[in-house]
Amino acid sequence: MFTEKTFAIIDTETLGGAASAHCPTYHCAGIALTKREEVSRINIVVIGNLLLDSAFYGKAKKEYYLNLLRDPATVLCYTEAEAKEIFSAWLTENNVSCACAHNSGFDFNKTFVSECVEGMEFIDTWQAFFETIGKYRKYNKFCCENGFVTKSGNIQMTAEVCYRFLSGDVSFVEEHTALSDCEIEAEILRAVWATHRKFERNIHKGDAPNRFQTVKARF
């Protein structure tokens, strides 16, 4: 019997930046999906780390997380060790064989998720988008017309800008909450699949210095 491959879109919200060797995670989410349909989703809050996040005490973010904590579908953990065990079990239960994230080098190297996906095939959706839709003239034009260009003259490919292009909503603002970010990254992956173009797997953004990963804006 044919069994469809299951992928997992993964996102984390953390304390500390990319310069840190390990970033404590306070929110981790995943969406398991095949190329045809969504299979499952998980939303984990690590309470011990959440309470250390100064941004949590801002009104908007605090309201979001208080509602999340009240949601019976949210998995509440007190430590990262507990979150790691639960997230690993979720990946196994859903037969996930490929982990996916936008700028996966952060989520899969700097957080507890690294141990959950160790040895697993992975897709960096930034890399996949770069090699497919990111090369389209239409995307380049979209970025130039809307000012989505870096100071060095490269078109942007953040998850937010990619989703603005795909949805047609130029004013879309990424929430930077794990499950909502997984939802837009799932749409990015589906759009990449729809191109039927090949792209590299098992490579993080920035891992290929011999073909430096930028696309110049063509005004």
Under 8 Å between Cβ of 218 and 140: yes
- Using CA atoms, how far apart are residues 173 and 157, in angstroms rounded to an integer? 14
Mean predicted confidence (pLDDT) in 41-48: 95
pLDDT tens digits, residue range 184-202?
Answer: 999 999 999 999 999 999 9
Domains of the chain with bracketed CATH: 6-211 (3.30.420.10)
pLDDT at 210 exceeding the cut of 50: no
E strand or H helix that includes residue 53: none
- Phi and psi at 59, nearest 5°, equal -55, -50
- The answer to whether the pTM exceeds 0.95 is no
What pLDDT does residue 52 have?
Answer: 85
Q: Work out the percent of the chain whose per-residue pLDDT is above 70.
A: 93
Residue 86, SS3? helix
Under 8 Å between Cβ of 11 and 101: yes
C-alpha dihedral sign at 179, 185, 186, 187? positive
pLDDT tens digits, residue range 148-179?
Answer: 999 989 999 999 999 999 999 999 999 889 99
Which band of pLDDT confidence, cut at 50, 70 and 90, is reported for residue 3? confident
- Provide the pairing of β-strand 96-101 with 25-33: unpaired
Least confident residue range of 53-62, 125-134, 173-182: 53-62
pLDDT at 211 exceeding the cut of 70: no
What pLDDT does residue 209 have?
Answer: 55
- How many Cα atoms occupy the beta-carbon half-sphere of 217 within 13 Å? 18
Under 8 Å between Cβ of 3 and 144: no
More confident residue, 218 or 29: 29
